[in-house]
Structure formats: C-alpha cells, structure tokens
Structure 1
Amino acid sequence: MKLTVNGVEHEVEAAPDTPLLWVLRDHLGMTGTKYGCGMALCGACTVHLDGVSTRSCITPVSAVAGRRVATIEGLSDDRSHPVQQAWIEADVAQCGYCQSGQIMGAAALLAANPDPSDEEIVSAMDAHLCRCGTYSQVREAVKLASRKIREAKS
C-alpha cells in the first residue's frame, strides 16, 4: 500500500489493520511518534491526518491510504516550527516522552485557531497526558507559539 508521510510517498507491506503507529515506527523508521497506551488515551502517538490531530495507535494503516500523514519529523527538520521553538523557549520538556504528541496537538490547534483562548488551549491539550505534569509550561508554550505565528503573518 502507498502512504504519503511528511510529503513523501512510501510503499509499505503491512496488514490493513496494522496501526499506523507501528507502520511509521517499524516500517518507515520514524520513531518520533511514541507508543504510550495503545488505546488513544494519552496522546503520545499523535500525528496529523489531513491536518487533523489523530491517534496513530488506533488508526489502521488502511484508513490513511490516499491521505496526508504528518509526523513530528515532518513538522520541521531543524526545530524551526514556531511550536517547536516555543517548546524550547518555555522549557516544557522534562522526561520528553509525551512531547512529540503534545507538539503535534498544539500545532494542529494553532493551524485551526491561531489565537486560542486559555480555555481553548486547555480543552485541546487536555487530550495529552504528561506524567511529569508540565501542563502550565505547555499552556505557556502554546501561547508563545500563537504569538510567533501571528507575528510571522504580519
């Protein structure tokens, strides 16, 4: 089956019900997307499917054929995406395990709503668990990324 991941077409041999997460990690070597719970509860496996945050641990690879998949590796190759910059500046990461999913969730939020309220940020990011408890830093990073995105457009 053919998949378009980060703008590049790939041909993979996988059973149609194989979770996208495992195709990304095991077949394509894109290990930035993490396995957390396997039940779409924690958000560590978040990717974008046609620009929408999607849990790759429960998404069968057959569901993504002909669609655009973006992973943390495709956000930018040099950490220049405003969300990545904001994450670094706000010193969000502690253990870092949840960060790729958090960043992908924040990027999708800001693509849909470049100026979210605190409530909208909390609502969107509540779907991502962080065992280290960096939720206040995440909120600040999303606000900072929002400002960066708006400034870049003006």
Structure 2
Amino acid sequence: MALSLGVGGTPVAAQSPPEKACYLTLTQHRTGLPLASILMQQRPVQFSVEFIHSVLGTRVSDLYEMRSDGKQWRAFLIEETFEGQGYGLPYGATAPGERYERVGDGWRLTLNRVIDPLVQLPLPQQEIDLVWPIGRIRIASLSESSVRITLEGCPPD
C-alpha cells in the first residue's frame, strides 16, 4: 500500500481524493509497486530533487515542473543549482534559451529540458530528497531500488 503524505510530508490516513486533485506518485520503477502519493495543491506543479553530488560532496538541487501535452504529464527540468565544478555538473548553457549564472558561492542553470521518465536511484550516500512546497521526504526511506516520479489525477492544462 502506498504512503499518502499531507502537510509537511506527514503520513495521513487514506481518504477519498478531492475531485481533480493532483498527486505526485512515487512507484518502484521496474515493478510499478506504489510507494507514496503526495497531494500537490499548487499549480503549476513544481518540486525539487535535492542530493549530495557523488564526487564533490556538495548539495545539488534540481527543480522540476510537471507539464501536460493534453495526453500525459511529463517532468521538465527547469533549474539546477549547485556548488563547484565536476563530473556530471553543467559547465555552461548548451541549448538555446538556457542561462548559466553565478549565484553566491554556487551556480544556477536555467533550462527547459524534458526528463521522461523521471527516475531516481536512491543511493543512501547521496541523501536524495524529494522536496515540495510543504514537505520533504528521503526517497531511500521508500525503496532501495529505482523510483519513478509521475503526476496522477490532474486534468490536462
């Protein structure tokens, strides 16, 4: 049975979802086993995946926005913030419309890249958190295997 999360990421008892409610749904990627369902009350639906960079040991935050093409919802990576330079981190804007800028001690890349499917492998040493406006959850607390993040129940834009 999937975990339902309310305000602040607090587990809540299963209840009938409001009509036209939007839920971020986390499932095991390969099996489809439900892991968590998070009510998303704001539009557009945005959330971050925050983690520790495996080589540098610095915090990285990827901001996603869910967008509909009228048939399905897909995740768009719209911003990445991080400190340092290293393997797997951007070193500049590489596509039209992208912006790469210095922010304090770190960097911010603003972009518009579809990530479909959005899957995270929750390696414990990376401390991967799913963060939304009113809560956060450590993805590794839900599964040791790859976790897929989708949006369910939302009417198309």
User: If the TM-score is normalised by the length of the shorter chain, which range does it land in?
Assistant: under 0.3
Instruction: Return the structure number with greater helix share.
Output: 1
Which entry has the higher C-alpha Rg, 1 or 2?
2
Report which structure shows greater RCO (CA 8 Å, sep ≥6): 2
TM-score for both structures, normalised by structure 2: 0.24
TM-score, length of structure 1 as denominator length = 0.25
